[in-house]
Amino acid sequence: MLRGLVRQLRAHGKKQGGRIWLELAERLERSRRARAEVNLSHISRHVGDESTVVVPGKVLAAGGLKRPISIVAFRFSGAARRKINASGGKALTIQQLLEQNPEGKGVRLME
């Protein structure tokens, strides 16, 4: 699953010329221990309204969101997904973002 996603991101980044996809593929290739684990409080603190944030790892539920934010990640904890949806935001997979925003415009990478 992960290897296929990394291959797809690399191919899409080379085809579209989107540096965001190549950078995301590189960060997902890291070992499991080196992948990002980001809390909702960290995302809420560093991101403005109506933003799209990509976490190349797992989103955890510590803290909360006060505004709707679209969060894209490789994995979500169940509680994090519920909190994101409750705040009016969206919890998307990387594959869904790739289909919705092929150019990667307006996307912010966060670790």
Side chain identity, residue 31? S
Q: Detail the DSSP E strand segments found in the chain.
A: 36-39, 52-60, 70-76, 90-93, 107-109
Q: Which domains does the chain possess?
A: 2-109 (3.100.10.10)
What does the pLDDT read at residue 58?
Answer: 94
pTM of the model: 0.89
Query: Could you tell me if 51 and 69 are in contact, meaning their C-beta atoms sit under 8 angstroms apart?
Result: yes
SS3 state at 20: helix
Examine the pLDDT at 50 and tell me if it is beyond 70. Answer: no
Average of per-residue pLDDT across 95-102:
91
Radius of gyration of the chain (CA): 13
Phi, psi of 64 (to 5 degrees): -160, 175
